[in-house]
Amino acid sequence: MRGKGKLTSSLEDYLEAIWLLSRESKVVRVRDVARRLGVTPASVVNAVKMLVRRGLVEHEPYGYISLTDKGMERATQIYERHTILTRFFRDILGLDSNSAERTACILEHHISEKALARLVKFLEFVEECPDVTPYWLKGLHHYLETGKRSVICPLRVKQR
């Protein structure tokens, strides 16, 4: 009953799109989803049919699309994966927002829970900014941009 009921990448994309659209405009139609994902309405109808079968969305013929509680929960999980990956690629690796978004969009379907959890901790560690991290991060970004190591850290000579 509480089994994961795996979704394909494609269905995850549809579910995520429906969720995002419903945050933006209260009412979601086939057409909106099609535009968002760059597919034909026919493809959306098909996908929605499958999501309905799995109890993740509701859809009255020729009417609006909405998420069930289960669908909502699932969509937020997917979106969380998305934002974590975006943050990593943008804030740590310094990719521009678009590239980071696109990368997240693809990888979000394939990364494991285990790996994702590590990434979360990594971000926590970096973003909550303890001792050396600010220096380290600056040094990293300088290196990513210029290919050269900065000499920001005054520790250098002291180390051994």
Partner DNA sequence: TAATATAATAAGGTAAGTCTAAAATTGTCA
Partner DNA sequence: TGACAATTTTAGACTTACCTTATTATATTA
Is the Cβ–Cβ distance between 81 and 111 less than 8 Å? yes
Alpha-carbon dihedral of residues 90, 93, 94, 97, nearest 10 degrees? -30
How far is 63 from 77, CA to CA, in rounded Å? Answer: 26
- The yes or no reply on residue 110 touching a copy of itself (CB under 8 A) is yes
Over the window 69 to 108, marking each residue x when it contacts a copy of itself by CB under 8 A and - when it does not, the resulting string is --------------------x--xxxx---x--xx--xx-
Based on the shown chain and the rule CB under 8 A, indicate whether residue 155 belongs to the binding site for a copy of itself: yes
Question: Do residues 56 and 15 touch, judged by C-beta distance below 8 A?
Answer: yes
Smallest separation (angstroms) from a copy of itself to the CB of 8: 14
**Using CB distances below 5 to 8 A depending on partner kind, what does residue 70 bind out of DNA, a copy of itself, none?**
none
In whole angstroms, the minimum distance from the beta carbon of 51 to DNA comes to: 10
Torsion over CA of 117, 122, 124 and 129, rounded to 10 degrees?
A: 170
Task: Decide which of a copy of itself, DNA, none touches 39; Cβ closer than 5 to 8 Å per partner kind.
Answer: DNA
Please, which residues have CB within 8 angstroms of residue 32's CB and are 6 or more apart in sequence? 21, 25
Nearer to DNA, 39 or 153 (CB): 39
- Residue for token digits 């990719």? 95
Q: Binding of a copy of itself at residue 7 (CB under 8 A)?
A: no
Return the SS3 of 136: helix
**Interaction partner, residue 143 (a copy of itself, DNA, none; CB < 5-8 Å by kind):** a copy of itself
* Residue ranges binding DNA (CB under 7 A): 8-11, 13, 29-31, 34, 38-43, 45-50, 59, 61-63
